[in-house]
Amino acid sequence: MKKILDILAIILPLLLLSLPIFRRVIFGKAKKAEGAVAKQPGLLRVSRTFLLIVLLLIGILRYLFYGGGSSGSSEPKPEPLSVSKHSSEFNESLQRVLNAYYSLTDAFSGNDTVAIHSSAVTVKEAFDNFKMDELKKDSTIYLTAIDPVNNAKAELESILVDPSMDEKRGSLNILSDNLRNLLVVVKYDLAKVYWQQCDEAFGEDKPGNWLSRSSDSKNPYPLKNNLPCGIAKDTLNYIQPDSIKN
């Protein structure tokens, strides 16, 4: 529609300017027509012609320089960006915690004590470098996040020093619960996180939980009968789609 209007803005003034010429070509130099034109004041004829020329020039300029050749509605719109409410430094520090934690759960699922120790050290270092001070801009969130962070560090220490794998897995369960609480408090919004559960991780009706990147995740609490165990009980999803950074 916009393209049609732009074209008409050129054609209509051009037709009106050409109308006297067409009348002479079609009807000849009829005395009546000439008399009618002659009776018009000269200033009026000049003003009308000048106005039509101005309208014609405006139509041409609009067509050439303001997109008259294409419809603005057909241009592709920019894709909205998904933008975190946290700073990049905060997100990077929390992402390092999560990545190290995922490696830790993988080590537990493989029952690899060396990898468990190495991964636990990495998770602890990531927590030590977690940019928690950013949360101070909201004192309620900051104070609520203190306990999950301190509890998580304490459980990591237990994983490192406890000789028993059962004790290590018990600490992993508590660590996972505190890390989940932290993600809920800060509303981690870079990706979905799945809350998994194995109903018999520590015996009948004694579940164990962990966090994972996807709904399909290896169980870090292997059962003695080696049967598969684990189901996504919840999804943490605070991603903010269709938000545009200013």
Tens-digit pLDDT profile for residues 172-231: 999 999 999 999 999 999 999 999 999 999 988 899 999 999 998 899 998 877 778 889
Two structure tokens written together for 76: 């592709």
Q: Do 195 and 223 touch, CB atoms closer than 8 A?
A: no
Q: What is the pLDDT of residue 205?
A: 85
Give the phi and the psi of residue 194 in degrees, each rounded to 5: -100, 135
Task: Give pLDDT, residue 203.
Answer: 87
pLDDT of residue 180: 98
- The number of residues making up the chain comes to 246
The two structure tokens encoding residue 194: 């799945």
pLDDT at 37: 45
Q: What percentage of the chain carries pLDDT values higher than 90?
A: 56
Q: What integer best gives the mean pLDDT of the chain?
A: 80
pLDDT (average), residues 102-109 = 97
Half-sphere exposure of 243 (CA within 13 A, CB side): 10
Name the helix (H) or strand (E) containing 89.
Answer: helix 88-109
With 60 as the cut, is the pLDDT of residue 73 above it? Answer: no
Which residues pair with residue 121 across a beta bridge?
A: none
Does the global pTM surpass 0.75? no
Distance, in Å, from the CA atom of 195 to the CA atom of 210, rounded to the nearest integer, reads: 6
Question: Does residue 105 register a pLDDT over 90?
Answer: yes
Whether pLDDT at 41 is above 70: no
pLDDT tens string 79-101: 444 467 899 999 999 999 999 99
CA gap 54, 71 in Å, rounded: 24
Q: What is the mean pLDDT of residues 3-15?
A: 62
| Residue 129, CB-side half-sphere exposure with 13 Å CA sphere | 15
**φ, ψ for residue 16 (rounded to 5)?**
-65, -35
Cα–Cα distance measured from residue 125 to residue 97, given in angstroms and rounded to the nearest whole number: 8
pLDDT reading at 119 higher than 80: yes
